[in-house]
Amino acid sequence: GNSVTQMEGPVTLSEEAFLTINCTYTATGYPSLFWYVQYPGEGLQLLLKATKADDKGSNKGFEATYRKETTSFHLEKGSVQVSDSAVYFCALMLNNAGNMLTFGGGTRLMVKP
């Protein structure tokens, strides 16, 4: 079946540190890949996406590259801010799967000033 595995959190960083949140997937086909962010007390918001191998999604200083050879979609940011503290979810969608998103378990990021 299809699944998404994320590194367990919480991840605690100091402001301006480099961030990597690992995400790997298993899929029967060629999925689109997404990162969602959830700020405290809110719903999930789409952060970035990539639809085919070697695509790079980017938004708000975050980026992730679709790596088919390693089935990965790791999220990176060069310099985190306190305002980036949130829960980050990796997800995949197969085009032939009724528009269903499969989510990873989420990774909580805490950024300290």
Quote the tokens at residue 71: 């089935």
User: What is the spatial distance between Cα 104 and Cα 113, in angstroms, rounded to a whole number?
Assistant: 28
Give the residue, chosen from 64, 73, 75, 104, that forms a contact with another protein under the rule CB under 8 A: 104
Query: If binding is defined by CB under 8 A, does position 98 make contact with another protein?
Result: yes
Binding pattern for the stretch 14-53 against another protein, x by CB under 8 A and - elsewhere: ------------------x-x-x-----xxxxx--x-x--
Cβ proximity to another protein: between 70 and 99 the closer is 99
Total H helices, total E strands in the chain: 0, 12
Closest approach of another protein to the CB of residue 48, in Å: 10
The contacts of residue 21 (CB under 8 Å, 6+ apart) are: 6, 7, 11, 74, 75, 76, 88, 90, 107, 109
The residues of the shown chain that bind another protein, judged by CB under 8 A, are 32, 34, 36, 42-46, 49, 51, 89, 91, 93, 95, 98-101, 103-106
